[in-house]
């Protein structure tokens, strides 16, 4: 089964008992990642604009807005390098 949503697609969180209970119903978000489980169910990493958080949500909770953003709109190109030293991660300063 093909994924219903694509990277950097702007989505709306639908009305459901889950989205209501978590207080996220009606929020908008951006698809940053997607994966399919062994039962062919797609899950998405959704950046919720209003909360500035990323949530893992099944596609049944999402509705397309018909709008897309771009990678450049979200990522500024900066990166952080992490090295493992003595079993712990450290960043280069």
pLDDT in tens, 19-43: 999 999 999 999 999 999 999 999 9
Tell me the CA distances in angstroms from 92 to 75, 77, 81, one per residue in order. 20, 17, 6
Q: What is the pLDDT of residue 13?
A: 98
CATH class of 9-91: mainly beta
Nearest CA to 15 among 26, 6, 23, 31?
A: 26
Q: What is the pLDDT of residue 93?
A: 65
Task: Determine whether 12 is exposed, middle or buried from the number of CB atoms within 10 Å of its CB (0-12, 13-18, 19+).
Answer: middle
Q: What is the average pLDDT score of the chain?
A: 93
Find the mean pLDDT for residues 37-51.
95
Give the β-pairing of 62-68 and 9-13. antiparallel
Tell me the CA distances in angstroms from 73 to 19, 63, 64, 88, one per residue in order. 26, 21, 19, 32
Prediction pTM value: 0.81
Find the mean pLDDT for residues 65-72.
94
**29-38, 40-49, 83-92, range with the lowest pLDDT:** 83-92
Distance from the first to the final alpha carbon of the chain: 44
Find the mean pLDDT for residues 51-79.
93
Q: How many residues comprise the chain?
A: 93
């Amino acid at each position: 089964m093909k994924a219903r949503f694509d990277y950097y697609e702007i989505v709306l969180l639908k009305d459901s008992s889950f989205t209501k209970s978590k207080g996220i119903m009606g929020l908008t978000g951006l698809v940053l990642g997607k994966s399919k489980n062994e039962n062919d169910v797609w899950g998405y990493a959704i950046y919720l604009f209003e909360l500035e958080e990323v949530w893992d949500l099944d596609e049944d909770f999402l509705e397309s807005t018909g709008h897309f953003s771009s990678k450049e709109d979200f990522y500024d190109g900066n990166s952080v390098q992490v090295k493992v030293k003595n079993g712990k991660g450290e960043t280069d300063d």
